[in-house]
């Protein structure tokens, strides 16, 4: 299996020979089922590195753009959503409470820029063509089916317009 490329963000650099050389960077490194957030300090002369681990997070961690809820941070274990939050710091607190290592460093704020961005549906709902979307398998199709959800969608679309319809639908899918 091919190793995933590290993601890096330079936080300090020096001018050397007319070129900028990064002397301090934040690196996201994937290893096994974890993502390591590291602060790497490089000697501009020798290129020698000193690495400090800032956090150990789930491998599946993303900045998600979702059609019903907008944008947020999410973490998964074995394709199961374990934590989600609108803010990076809040997500890190949730992960720390679940036993993941999250160190105290001002560089953790900048690490959010390295998180992969994805478009992903995480909420149950209906597609534009009326098909049921259930990515987390949370709808009890065996007992209730999708018909009440379709009926609620049609009722909302007939009773509300514009942003009000969007807010009403969000209330239904989050209930």
pLDDT digit string, tens, across residues 79-126: 788 998 999 999 999 999 999 999 988 888 888 889 999 987 777 777
> Does residue 134 sit in the same domain as residue 108?
no
Residue pair 102/55 in contact (Cβ under 8 Å)? The answer is yes
Q: Which residues contact 30 (CB under 8 A, 6 or more apart)?
A: 3, 4, 6, 36, 59
Last residue of a domain, one of 119, 134, 164: 119
The pLDDT tens digits of the residues spanning 52-75 come to 999 999 999 999 998 777 899 999
Picking from 119, 135, 162, the residue at the C-terminal end of a domain is: 119
Same domain, yes or no, for 15 and 84? Answer: yes
Tell me: do 97 and 169 sit in the same domain: no
- Sheet of 101-102: strand order equals 7-16, 19-31, 34-42, 49-58, 101-102
Asked if residue 152 belongs to a domain, the reply is yes
Q: What is the DSSP letter of 157?
A: H
Strand order in the sheet with 60-66: 80-85, 70-77, 60-66, 117-119
Average pLDDT over residues 118-141: 73
105 and 155 share a domain?
no
Let me know if residue 1 belongs to a domain: no
One domain, residues 91 and 167: no
Residue 2 lies in a domain: no
Residues 110 and 141 reside in one and the same domain? no
pLDDT at residue 3 is higher than 50: no
Rg (C-alpha) for the chain, rounded Å, is: 21
Q: Does position 141 have pLDDT exceeding 70, yes or no?
A: no
Domain that holds residue 41: 7-119
pLDDT of 27 higher than 60: yes
Kindly state whether residues 45 and 103 are assigned to the same domain. Answer: yes
Question: Is residue 1 very low, low, confident or very high in pLDDT (cuts 50, 70, 90)?
Answer: very low
């Amino acid at each position: 299996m091919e190793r995933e490329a590290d993601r890096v963000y330079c936080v300090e650099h020096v001018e050397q020979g007319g070129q900028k050389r990064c002397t301090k960077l934040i690196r996201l490194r994937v290893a096994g089922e974890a993502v390591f957030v590291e602060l790497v300090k490089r000697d501009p002369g020798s290129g020698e590195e000193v690495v400090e681990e800032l956090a150990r997070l789930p491998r599946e961690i993303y900045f998600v753009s979702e059609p019903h809820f907008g944008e947020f941070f999410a973490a998964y274990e074995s394709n199961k959503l374990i934590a989600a939050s609108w803010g990076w710091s809040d997500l890190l607190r949730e992960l720390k409470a679940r036993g993941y290592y999250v160190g105290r460093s001002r560089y953790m704020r900048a690490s959010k820029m390295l998180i992969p961005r994805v478009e992903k549906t995480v909420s149950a709902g209906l597609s534009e063509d009326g098909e049921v979307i259930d990515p987390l398998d949370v709808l009890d199709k065996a007992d209730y089916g999708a018909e009440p959800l379709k009926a609620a969608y049609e009722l909302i679309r007939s009773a509300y317009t514009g942003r009000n319809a969007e807010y009403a639908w969000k209330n239904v899918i989050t209930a």
